[in-house]
Amino acid sequence: MLYQIYETQRSIMEPFADLAEVAAKLYTNPMLPLSQFPIAQRVSAAYDLMHRLGKDYEKPEFGIRTVDVDGVDVAIHERIEIDKPFCELRRFKRFSDDTDTLAKLKGQPVVLVVAPLSGHYATLLRDTVRTMLKDHKVYITDWKNARLVPLSEGEFHLDDYVNYVQEFIRHLQGAYGNCHVISVCQPTVPVLAAVSLMASRGETTPYSMTMMGGPIDARRSPTAVNNLAVQRSHSWFENNVIYRVPDKFPGAGRRVYPGFLQHTGFVAMNPDRHATSHYDYFKDLIKGDNSSAESHRKFYDEYNAVLDMDADYYLETIDTVFQDFKLINGTWDVKNPKGKLERVRPQDITTTAVLTVEGELDDISGSGQTEAAHGLCTGVPKAQHMHYEAKGAGHYGIFSGRRWRDMVYPVMKAFLLAHQPKVTEAEPSGTVAAAGVRPKPAPRASAPAQAKSQTITTKLSAVNGKGATQTTPAASDRAIVQRPAKTSAPAKPRARKQTT
């Protein structure tokens, strides 16, 4: 019933929000008499703020048209590689007619970025994708709004999330031989499970696995998010935050955790900060500071755009990650597409390097929650473990903004290159191995070569970051390290190609 009330209220407010937008323009248009009033700027700012507080925020676009690669503008074409009922695997294909740039792009690592399914759209990682496109071939999981998925498509469970990730990894392995996987916040848990299950079956696992600000062990340094999940029972969540989608949407009747409730929770964590931000926006409009006002708009256009999550997935995540701690306790069983239960065993991972990233001031995933992954992946050689703490960074700062670009990304880039084999996979010729088909193992660097790549240690300031530590499963002492980022000179292409 709450969902229907919310939609009714929003529908009533929509015309007034549109009217406020028109009024704001009337008071700033120099060709109209209203703009000549002494308080016209203030009135316009008030109407503009009213419009933004009352409008409906649709899913934003990534909007990445070009990226600069060593002074050369490389065109970006965004396209869907795999379309699943609840998710799209989206590729950012790079185009260049500069021969040297093209050769450089061809040899760069392939990265699957697994975006969070926790209320916001994957476009929240726009800065992550834009930055990584300079040095990587980038794919991202673009999760769909559950209220737009018809009931005929069935339910969506946490097990389905894990199976989706495995299918996407296999797709990239079929196209390129192998890939690197990066998970941000919520997906750190299902991604670790997906790679663990692949390892247990003897499948080829990714070259590296980077986990950023996620609740691997939510018992450590609990935050307000963790405390809420622990203090409330499963039945409380099911009875108080799960509602059915209204009739006006394609997913009418589907049980979901509505995005507007998640958004309310986000705002409630820092209400004073948001109130101050909107008041500053109002003052910027009065002063005519268009640059600051536009920055505010861009942030809240993203922040206020939320999606619904399928109820089964949401409730199972609460149980598995925040209440029963099944990953840490070794009691998590995942149902594969054939209906068979498989135990998640991170200790079976042996050939995938592990990097964990945390923000010093993260108020969503507390200190040590992500680092706990190292204690689970005991089968990975100690030299292939690395932990990095971004000083002064909050939750969003580890994947977006200045600290992400200047501190976190150089560390991640070096880590991926250090675990990228010198023999680079060829670009797919147009047909790739079918998703779900087990690919042939990609060539791996020899043991001597791997050992040699891990013998150099130095202060991490060489990659513009501080706080990186080499982490072993039971280590209490940490040494500042940087793995060497070795790359080979790109091979000359046989024929001039225009894409990568």
Domains of the chain: 2-56+259-303 (no CATH), 66-234+309-425+445-469 (3.40.50.1820)
What value does the mean pLDDT take over residues 13-37? 91
How confident is the model at residue 498, as a pLDDT?
53
What value does the mean pLDDT take over residues 42-57? 94
How confident is the model at residue 432, as a pLDDT?
35
**Which residues in 169-199 are b (16+ Cβ under 10 Å) and which e?**
bbbbbbbbbbbbbbbbbbbbbbbbbbbbbbb
Q: What is the dihedral of CA 474, 477, 482, 484, to 10 degrees?
A: -50
pLDDT-wise least confident of 4-8, 65-69, 176-180: 4-8
Residue 12 sits at the vertex; the CA angle it makes with 7 and 14, to the nearest 5 degrees, is 90
How confident is the model at residue 404, as a pLDDT?
97
User: What is the DSSP-derived secondary structure letter of residue 119?
Assistant: S
What value does the mean pLDDT take over residues 5-20? 92
Provide, rounded to the nearest whole percent, the portion of the chain with pLDDT above 90: 75
List pLDDT tens digits, range 424-474: 444 443 333 333 333 444 444 444 334 333 333 333 333 344 455 554 333
How confident is the model at residue 208, as a pLDDT?
98
Whether the pLDDT of residue 153 is over 50: the answer is yes
What value does the mean pLDDT take over residues 84-93? 97
Q: How confident is the model at residue 500 (pLDDT cuts 50, 70, 90)?
A: low
List pLDDT tens digits, range 154-205: 999 999 999 999 999 999 999 999 999 999 999 999 999 999 999 999 999 9
Tell me the pTM: 0.83
CA-CA distance, 37 to 19, in Å (whole number)? 20
How confident is the model at residue 128, as a pLDDT?
97
